[in-house]
Amino acid sequence: MMGMTGMMWLMLLSALVIGLLLIAGAVLFVRLFWNQSAGEKPKHTAESILRERFARGEIDQQEYQARMSALQRRRSETIQQQR
């Protein structure tokens, strides 16, 4: 009788371990795919943030144009330095 009780505990313990391993594997699988899809999301560029600030009325048109032209100059200088 004692042997059957020990066997039942062993089966219960092994079922719990297998269940935990399956859950851990599923979590890792989801996290891997979540990180890969995160790279596909559009990034907030300086230009898009500036456009959003202008649209919200945080900056006026003169400041928007000045900052946008500064960003475009910096981008063209960076491209020229890379060549």
**8-29 residue pLDDT tens:** 888 999 999 999 999 999 999 8
What pLDDT score was predicted for residue 79? 78
Please report which confidence band the pLDDT of residue 67 belongs to, taking 50, 70 and 90 as the band edges. very high
- Position 36 scores a pLDDT of 61
Take residue 80 and report the two structure tokens written for it: 């020229």
What residue segments make up the domains of the chain, in order of their start? 1-40, 42-83
Going by pLDDT thresholds of 50, 70 and 90, the confidence category of residue 42 is: low
Long-range CB pairs of 75-81, under 8 A, 24+ apart, other chains included? none
Contact between residue 11 and residue 29 where contact means Cβ atoms under 8 Å apart = no
Asked if 71 and 47 count as a contact pair (C-beta separation under 8 A), the reply is: yes
Half-sphere exposure of 42 (CA within 13 A, CB side): 6
Q: What pLDDT, on a 0 to 100 scale, did the predictor assign at position 26?
A: 93
